[in-house]
Amino acid sequence: MKKEKHSLLVWITNIGFTIISFIALFPILNLLLSSFRPSSEIMRNGISLSFDPSTLSLDNYTYIFTQGGNYWTWYGNSLMITAITVVLSLFFSSMVGYALAAYDFKGKNFLFGFVLFILMIPFEILMLPLFQLMISMNIINTYTAVILPAVVAPIAVFFFRQYALGLPKELMDAARIDGATEYGIYFKIMLPLMAPSMAAMAILQGLGSWNNFLWPLVVLRSNDMFNLPIGLATLLTPYGNNYDILITGSVMTIVPIIILFIFFQRYFVAGLTVGGVKG
């Protein structure tokens, strides 16, 4: 009887999650179908599942792949910015988080409290002093200005610190006895153990950087340096709205995130679970 109740509960849970998944995927399905519709059809009926199937075509995708010069420039810019941001953020944030978890030093608690304090401040409040700093460094309208504020992310430092608290310190002591340096201990022993957390944060940081709109809008000036969110926004002007190209371009922006998740999905759940319960 108890086994039957458990089986029924599992079935109800699966059905519930399936329904939730369809609800979550509904906007994406709507966007995908709209990417095959001409602009006139979208303007007349809006973005909805009510449309004439005979109007569907690959013209929007053909245009992007053959004549969308600026679009692919923006695409390449976003790929470069995201890749550099993720690599630098994982490298520096993981080192800071690991140091806060593995070592005892003067001011450690104050430093961690400062990280939490910054984590609670909305980015919009920090944006003006950051912008003034970029001006003083003379790096406005450069990719450095876009990437630099995200190199050491407070959320990533907190996440890695929580994960590193669960790593066995006995391995560090054994490595020291064998003559390993602190850098050697980190890169050769502890960093491989942090692979699940690195993969999980790579997805989160990559998603944040890929979709970043506000900060690049503030520091970038040239059209050929725009990332995808800003570039797509320029398609909507008072003189004309290219909704068909905008929607098709938006569909194409989903591809890198899907690829990123496919590569790191086996570590994603483990990284979030362990990093979230260790304290």
pLDDT digits over 149-208, tens only? 999 999 999 999 988 888 888 888 888 888 888 888 888 888 888 888 888 888 889 889
Q: What is the pLDDT of residue 54?
A: 75
Q: 219: which residues sit within 8 A by CB, 6+ positions away?
A: 131, 134, 140, 141, 142, 145, 146
Are 272 and 179 in a shared domain? yes
If you average pLDDT over residues 97-118, what whole number do you get? 89
How far apart are the C-alpha atoms of 152 and 191, rounded to whole Å? 17
How far apart are the C-alpha atoms of 140 and 125, rounded to whole Å? 19
Are 174 and 44 in a shared domain? no
How far apart are the C-alpha atoms of 195 and 217, rounded to whole Å? 33
How far apart are the C-alpha atoms of 172 and 178, rounded to whole Å? 10
Are 118 and 219 in a shared domain? yes
Residue 232, pLDDT above cutoff 50: yes
Q: In the structure, how many helices (H) and strands (E) does the chain have?
A: 15, 2
Q: What is the pLDDT of residue 277?
A: 44
If you average pLDDT over residues 52-77, what whole number do you get? 82
Last residue of a domain, one of 67, 94, 110: 67
Residue 145, pLDDT above cutoff 70: yes
Token representation of residue 115: 């990280």
Residue 250, pLDDT above cutoff 60: yes
Last residue of a domain, one of 47, 67, 87: 67
Are 78 and 89 in a shared domain? yes
How far apart are the C-alpha atoms of 194 and 108, rounded to whole Å? 21
Last residue of a domain, one of 32, 48, 67: 67
Q: What is the pLDDT of residue 160?
A: 92
Structural domain range at position 26: 1-67
2-6, 151-155, 247-251, range with the lowest pLDDT: 2-6
**Chain centroid, CA 38 distance in Å:** 31
Are 53 and 140 in a shared domain? no
Percent of the chain with pLDDT over 90: 29
Residue 275, pLDDT above cutoff 50: no
Q: How many domains does the chain have?
A: 2
Tell me the CATH number at 200: 1.10.3720.10
Angle between helix axes 154-164 and 108-119 (nearest 10 degrees) is: 130
Are 242 and 108 in a shared domain? yes
Are 77 and 62 in a shared domain? no
Are 47 and 156 in a shared domain? no
Between 277 and 85, the higher pLDDT residue: 85
Residue 88, pLDDT above cutoff 90: yes
The pairing of beta strand 240-241 with beta strand 236-237: antiparallel
If you average pLDDT over every residue of the chain, what do you get? 84
- Taking only the tens place, the pLDDT of each residue in 124-140 is 899 999 999 999 999 99
Q: What is the pLDDT of residue 3?
A: 64
If you average pLDDT over residues 29-40, what whole number do you get? 81
Q: Which residue in this structure is represented by tokens 């409290």?
A: 113
Are 61 and 131 in a shared domain? no
Are 82 and 104 in a shared domain? yes
Q: What is the b/e burial string over 247-264, where b = at least 16 CB atoms within 10 angstroms of the residue's CB?
A: bbbbbbbeebeeebeeeb
Are 208 and 117 in a shared domain? yes
Q: What is the pLDDT of residue 86?
A: 93
Are 107 and 46 in a shared domain? no
